[in-house]
Structure 1
Amino acid sequence: MPIPIDFLPPARISAKEKAFNQLQRWIIDGTLMPGEKLYDAEIAEALSISRTPVREAFQLLQIQGFIETFPGRETRVTTISKKDVLKIYPPLASLQALAAEEATKVISIEQIEQLKEINQKYELSINNQQFFRSMEIDEEFHNLILDIADNPYISDFSSTLQLHIRRLKYIFLKQQLTSKNDSLKEHGLIIKSFTERDGKTASIIMKQNWLRPMEELYKVLD
């Protein structure tokens, strides 16, 4: 299992969190590829921690669906396929649509301006063909709406699903910039719906904003 030697260690946190955060990042960005075996001793040495917090991190990652453990045999990064696209996007689309509807009820003028500013950054990253940057800004846009909706259950389930979607994007579309103009327009329509206090339209557009890329990604995997 190749362990990078030039990564930046996380800030001062517990050993378990350190292992969990780093392994999750490596799995999502494809450093640790689907199906790759994980060795607790090797990871512990790379992170300068003991094997116990690494094993604890394995348990958390297994709950999230990023690794699978076969007791007494091996631990592997879970594999992913195009079928996973159709399993991950729809529930996230529904959660995000609900968040948009809830956010419409309480969003302030200042928060709407924040969303406009984020969308301007998103447009700039698209024009500059910065794929990873545009993905980060897109997540920033949606995360702000989740914060405004202020429902921890929506936020918690969404965050895990978003991590799996980011993994799909990194592995299958690494270094490739797909068209984001439709997403940019949809963001604008969502902001417009917030301004008009139209929760139903905000919900419909938000769901479309997630299901459309699902269909595009599924086609790319053909």
Structure 2
Amino acid sequence: MEQPRLVPIKLDNYKPLREIVFETLREAIIQGRLEPGERLMEIQLAEEMGVSRTPVREAIRKLELEGFVVMVPRKGAYVAGISVKDIVDVFEVRAALEALAAGLAAERATTEELEEMERAVLLNYEVSHGKNIDTLVERDISFHDLIYKASRNQRLVQIVTHLKEQVQRFRTTSLALPGRGRHAVEEHKNIVEAISSRNVELAGSLAREHIDTAEQLFLTAMGEVKEKYD
């Protein structure tokens, strides 16, 4: 059964309505239910979610600030497309941040944090053999969050948090590729081993390779290559 683009919003959530609408639309864009280039009609979206136009309008403005929506003069709001350069730019930044975080974690992680990373890898092995991509994505996010936390660098964590939603658009597609989930967990295992051995250089190198691999797989899935832009 095909998943609906949007569902009526339940008003029993503690969050403000405008925030719920924003998160609902952002998730629909990330998951591809609202496709790149699709026009966002306030009335239609409001009807689908069972809300007024005001929170939809506010959500669209916020989505524009985060790069998920583009405003076209005299035409309206559209879901932002993803160019090859957009993809490469995001992955370049993420690779550098992941390498830095893993290197710092190799220096600073506590015994408890190392054990938590090891448990996360074992748990991720279990879910990587299933077909629930949402669960796999959640576990992948949780694993990387453990490394960010162990880096003891709050500025790094803030930057990663700002980038996270852009990364999410790519993460789901990458992990949905056949066999990628299992390979990703194996890469996680190697990173944790390097962190546990306090090998700063190796941990950073493996973390960078992990993101580079995800980038290449995503570009392949998109049917594009880096050489298509200068």
Fold-level match, TM-score > 0.5? yes
**CA distance in 1: counterparts of 2:48 and 2:10, whole angstroms:** 12
What's the counterpart of residue 220 of structure 2? 219
Indicate the residue corresponding to 1:203 in structure 2. Answer: 204
Deviates more, 1:54-63 or 1:203-212: 54-63
Q: Which runs of 5+ in 2 are unaligned?
A: 224-230
The CA RMSD over aligned residues, in Å, is 2.6
CA distance in 2, matches of 1:174, 1:38: 28
Preserved contact between residue 70 and residue 79 of structure 2 (Cα < 8 Å): yes
Letter in 1 for 2:166: H
Q: Is the 8 A contact 2:103 2:203 kept in 1?
A: yes
Q: Quick one: distance in 2 between partners of 1:159 and 1:102? A: 17
Q: Distance in 1 between matches of 2:11 and 2:106?
A: 39
State the Cα distance separating 1:27 from its structure 2 match. 0.6
> Displacement, 1:218?
1.7
Give aligned-pair identity as a percent.
Answer: 25
Q: Distance in 1 between matches of 2:175 and 2:10?
A: 21
Q: Retained in 1: the 8 A contact 2:175–2:181?
A: no
- Deviation, 1:160, is 4.2
Partner of 1:19: 21
Query: Mean Cα displacement is larger for which, 126-135 or 75-84?
Result: 126-135
Superposed displacement of residue 128, structure 1:
3.0
In structure 2, the residue matched to 1:69 is: 71
Q: 1:179 is matched with which residue?
A: 180
Match of 1:30 among 26, 29, 32: 32
**Residues 150 and 48 of structure 1: is their aligned pair in 2 closer, same or farther, counting only changes over 3 Å?**
farther
Cα separation, 1, equivalents of 2:33 and 2:183: 30
Count of residue pairs brought into register by the alignment: 220
Gaps of 5+ in 1: none
* Partner of residue 228, structure 2: none
Q: Provide the secondary structure at the position in 2 that maps to 1:213.
A: helix
The alignment's TM-score, normalised by the length of structure 2, stands at 0.82
Tell me the TM-score normalized by structure 1.
0.85
